[in-house]
Amino acid sequence: MSSPLRLHYSAISDVGRVRKDNQDSGYAGPWLLSVCDGVGGAARGDIASSTAIQQLRELDDPPADDTGSGLLDRVTDALHEAHVRIGRLVDADPALNGTSTTATVALFDGSRIGLGHVGDSRAYLFRDGELSQLTKDHTFVQSLIDEGRITEEESRVHPHRNLILKALDGMHEAEPDLFMIELVDGDRVFLCSDGACGVLDDGRLADILNTGSPDFAAVELVRASLEAGSSDNVTCIVADVVTEEAALADPEISGLEPLLVGAAGELRRRTPRGAKGPLFRGHRSGDTGELDPIEDEIPEGVRAVPADPVDPETARYAPRPPARFQWLKRALVLAILVGVVWVGVAAAWSWTQDQYFVGEQDGSVVIYRGINTDLPGVPLSSLFMTSDVEIERLSDYDAGRVRDGIEVADLDAAQETVQSLATEMTPTDEAG
């Protein structure tokens, strides 16, 4: 059996030239490489990506067994737990509804990596001068490429190039792509967010990956992405596969600490504009490794990428599923409102049916059940009893009162009022 292999890794994440916040998160450690690209715009994709990375980083331990299925089972379980944690955040804060993240995970066991993939972040293998894309994008434009309707080059400028079809969103379990890759000494593994692979073609990626250390390559990949016009956050992880003997003999490799970059990093340090300092600053001790702003290098009056009228990140995960149980919540609220209204209407109607007043109909004094008013199209009273008292045989004063409606306390009071009016009627021979 060949000697175990080790990883010599580097990671860097930059907010880019356009966005105010970094919604990418990345992690690189002895056993784990992972990139997550948050989706959601105002729904805080940075929270989704950092939550996923914090869960996935628990994979960074020596493997418990040497079976491929065990390696992929660990990746699957970790992605599921990341999905669950995001769901809990959305449940606790409805303002996060719509947040999600891509996830590309490479779990190393000393001779191979188990890959898990959801979304459009990517993993590549650079071997013997040849670059191979390991993952396949879960995007709308990738479906068009698969159908032969557009080319890879056309996909980079397609108006819906930002539309992803699968992500960790805490609501719908996203089935990840899972597969194993055998590694050999001299391989270089590269993981990135679409801020890099969305603007750099395979030829340019291979040129950069063919040079320098992982530190150098990671920095140059980010720089090249920004100079090529990337309007997104850019996160790159580069890891060289080396023998255990070479790793132990090189203090830089044997002394590596895990790297947490992007939104998942708790501190974001920037050298102030104009300050002098090395390009690759202190990322080994916890910095996100962001590059100094290089916007000043663009000629005056020229921008690498014009600002879109609508931020594509806001609508990136466009086939947005309904809010978590939102239909059920709306149905419950509607049912409660209908119930409250129904109870109120029933109570009001019941009260009106206990009310009476004395009025006039067809020249006779009558008793109405209900209240002496109507709503447009809704009568609130009905004829209860007609008496023999004639309006024409009452005095003008009493007749006016009856026509206006005489309010009474109850049915007994209404009947007493009618009897009182009957005694006030003029005799028949005097009525004319």
Same domain, 385 and 242: no
pLDDT in tens, 374-405: 777 778 888 888 888 888 888 888 889 999 89
Question: Which pLDDT band, with edges at 50, 70 and 90, does 308 fall under?
Answer: very low
Average model confidence (pLDDT) for the chain? 84
pLDDT in tens, 245-287: 999 999 999 999 999 999 998 544 333 333 333 333 334 333 3
Residue 35, pLDDT > 70, answer yes
Structural domain contains residue 13: yes
Whether residue 60 contacts residue 78, with contact meaning beta carbons closer than 8 Å, is answered with no
Higher-pLDDT residue of 48 and 284 is 48
Q: For residue 400, give its domain range.
A: 355-431
pLDDT of residue 309: 47
- State mean pLDDT over 398-414: 89
Same domain, 317 and 369: no
Same domain, 84 and 182: yes
- State mean pLDDT over 190-214: 96
Same domain, 26 and 151: yes
Structural domain contains residue 40: yes
Same domain, 181 and 261: yes
pLDDT of residue 282: 35
Same domain, 315 and 408: no
Same domain, 376 and 262: no
Structural domain contains residue 309: yes
- Lowest mean pLDDT of 64-68, 222-226, 287-291, 298-302, name the range: 298-302
Whether residue 253 contacts residue 242, with contact meaning beta carbons closer than 8 Å, is answered with yes
3-class secondary structure, 415: helix
Structural domain contains residue 240: yes
pLDDT of residue 293: 44
- State mean pLDDT over 143-160: 85
- Lowest mean pLDDT of 195-209, 219-233, 323-337, name the range: 323-337
pLDDT of residue 152: 80
pLDDT of residue 153: 81
Residue 367, pLDDT > 80, answer yes
State the total domains in the chain. Answer: 2
Structural domain contains residue 185: yes
Q: What is the CATH classification number for the domain harbouring 315?
A: 3.60.40.10
C-alpha 311, offset from chain centre? 15
Structural domain contains residue 342: no
- State mean pLDDT over 190-217: 97
Same domain, 183 and 245: yes
Cα angle, residue 30 at apex, residues 125 and 169 outer, rounded to 5°: 70
Nearest to 118 by CA among 175, 179, 49, 33: 175
Task: Point out which residues pair with 132 in neighbouring strands.
Answer: 125
Structural domain contains residue 303: yes
What's the CA gap between 59 and 49, in Å, rounded? 16
Residue 146, pLDDT > 60, answer yes
What's the CA gap between 191 and 197, in Å, rounded? 10
233: tokens are 């956050």
Same domain, 302 and 389: no
Same domain, 248 and 363: no
Residue 313, pLDDT > 80, answer no
Structural domain contains residue 256: yes
Same domain, 186 and 308: yes
- State mean pLDDT over 1-25: 90
pLDDT in tens, 81-102: 999 999 999 999 988 988 999 9
Same domain, 22 and 109: yes
Contact residues for 280 (Cβ-Cβ < 8 A; gap 6+): 12, 215, 219, 289
Q: Which of the given ranges, 195-204, 302-311, 394-403, has the highest pLDDT on average?
A: 195-204
What's the CA gap between 195 and 227, in Å, rounded? 12
- Lowest mean pLDDT of 171-180, 316-325, 331-340, 378-387, name the range: 316-325
